[in-house]
Amino acid sequence: MPDLNRRRFLSLAGTAVAGAANALAATKERAVPAVQPNLLVILVDDLGYGDLACYGAPDLKTPHLDRLAADGIKFTNAYANCPVCSPTRAALLTGRYQELVGVPGVIRTHLGNSWGHLTPDAVLLPSVLKKAGYASAIVGKWHLGLQSPNTPTERGFDFFHGFLGDMMDDYYSHRRHGINYMMRNTTSIDPKGHATDLFSQWAADWLTQQKAGSPFFLYLPYNAPHGPIQPPKEWLERVQAREPQLKPKRAKIVALIEHMDHGIGQVLAALEDAGHADNTLVVFVSDNGGDLPAGAFNGPVRSGKGTMYEGGLRVPMIARWPGHIAKGTATGRIALTMDIFATCCEAAGAKVGHEIDGVSFLRTLLGQKQPAPERDLFFGRREGGRFFNGGTIECVRRGDWKLLRSKPGGPLELYNLAADPLEKRDLAKDKPEKARELAQALNDQLARYARVPWKPPGKK
């Protein structure tokens, strides 16, 4: 990234953080109203921490998500539970560390290269919300099971219109390994069009069917901007005309992101037109950091998707709730994907009657004082292939200290993110006591995970 763009990104991010305290301090504490809010959670796939204009990207335009941030609150320290797809989705929908619900890695078509199986006892968000009177739908990418009993409508959703699999080999044919994973509830479908356009339209259609006064939860997980980087032709041509200096790879992912932003704009417009916008809490987040080989931009932070460094874990997150979240605010509060579960339940007045690991950040959204919880944060990933060979990489964060293992069986690395946010100086040898302290916490957590099976019953 050119130095000028890096400085611009840091300046924009710094301004947001610096302004957050004043903006939030000026917001009076608000009580959650008696009327339950509708919930719209938009999850995008492989969007880099720096790949929105409102997060400092110098070469793309995302007016709809920029507007969402201007109308609400932007997180500068939001983290994905995992640097790859399935585990983060499991964490979001269960409020638990993904390893504790059987999804330490990516669920795929072929069992020999699939690293998770959602446990039967995992309680998903729509099931909890249903007890509080919510209708629920998922439109888009599921990626938590390809067959019964782990399909969306068997795991708590009232309605499903989307894609069961991990990725599409083509955004227009929607196949994976030649298999059609597009479904409407339990029926296979074969629609025409770019997947982003389809998901946006289907989400808009569902929203317009919801009646005022009947609370709903819509989970909208896009495939974009995950590879293949396949924007519609006209969107790519538009970017190339506007940004002729971009290399072809970067121009393609910029176009795919801008096309996705346009689709999200259609969904938000449908929410407005149906009269739901004023009583809907919208949360937008990415499932992990951007994929650098695909041309993603993660700002100044180190590395990208698939790694335990900041570029793999730190993600953009935005929330809007008119009349409750102050406009144009920002927060440096650390939040994980699994915290969205707890936040949605608290906002909805839905009681959680089982153990979760996530912590609600609702008071932060409402501009109220909310001390950071005293908790260690854990991240992990299991994978196959020659590099992983079925092993794991993992990380623990305690305050500003971060201990990680970047390759299975490899040495532990120690960083202080306050002093070294770009993770340039490994302090494991300089601070052996701190490294041992965090290693013990990590080992204890890994022991918890080891008790939970992550393969289908009867499979070895």
Structure tokens at 92: 């979001």
pLDDT of residue 457: 87
Residue from 143, 161, 259, 324 carrying the catalytic annotation: 143
pLDDT of residue 458: 78
Q: Is the C-alpha dihedral spanning 418, 25, 323, 262 positive or negative?
A: negative
Give Dmax (Cα) for the chain. 61
In whole angstroms, what is the distance from residue 302 CA to residue 241 CA? 30
pLDDT of residue 33: 57
Collapsed DSSP state (helix, strand, coil) of residue 245:
coil
Q: Are 129 and 136 in contact (CB under 8 A)?
A: yes
143 classed as catalytic: yes
In whole angstroms, what is the distance from residue 450 CA to residue 322 CA? 43
Share of the chain above pLDDT 70, in %: 92
Per-residue pLDDT reduced to its tens digit, 65-123? 999 999 999 999 999 999 999 999 999 999 999 999 999 999 999 999 999 999 999 99
In whole angstroms, what is the distance from residue 426 CA to residue 428 CA? 6
pLDDT of residue 35: 81
pLDDT of residue 285: 99
Share of the chain above pLDDT 90, in %: 91
Q: Are 423 and 415 in contact (CB under 8 A)?
A: yes
pTM: 0.94
pLDDT of residue 26: 37
pLDDT of residue 32: 58
Which of 120-142 are b and which e, b meaning 16 or more Cβ less than 10 Å from the residue's Cβ?
A: eebbbbbbbbbeeebbbbbbbbb
Give the residue-averaged pLDDT of 380-399. 98
Q: Which residues pair with 284 in a beta bridge?
A: 42, 318
Task: For residue 21, name the pLDDT band (cuts at 50, 70, 90).
Answer: very low
Mean pLDDT of the chain: 94
Residue 243 has pLDDT above 50, yes or no: yes
194 classed as catalytic: no
pLDDT of residue 50: 97
Which of 101-119 are b and which e, b meaning 16 or more Cβ less than 10 Å from the residue's Cβ?
A: bbbbbbbbeeeeebbbbbb
pLDDT of residue 14: 47
What distance lies between CA 355 and its chain's CA centroid? 22
Weakest mean pLDDT among 7-11, 136-140, 201-205, 362-366: 7-11
Beta carbons within 8 Å of 325's beta carbon, 6+ residues apart: 72, 73, 319, 365, 366, 367
Task: For residue 460, name the pLDDT band (cuts at 50, 70, 90).
Answer: low
Residue from 54, 82, 85, 395 carrying the catalytic annotation: 85
Structural domains of the chain ordered from first start: 37-365 (3.40.720.10), 377-450 (3.30.1120.10)
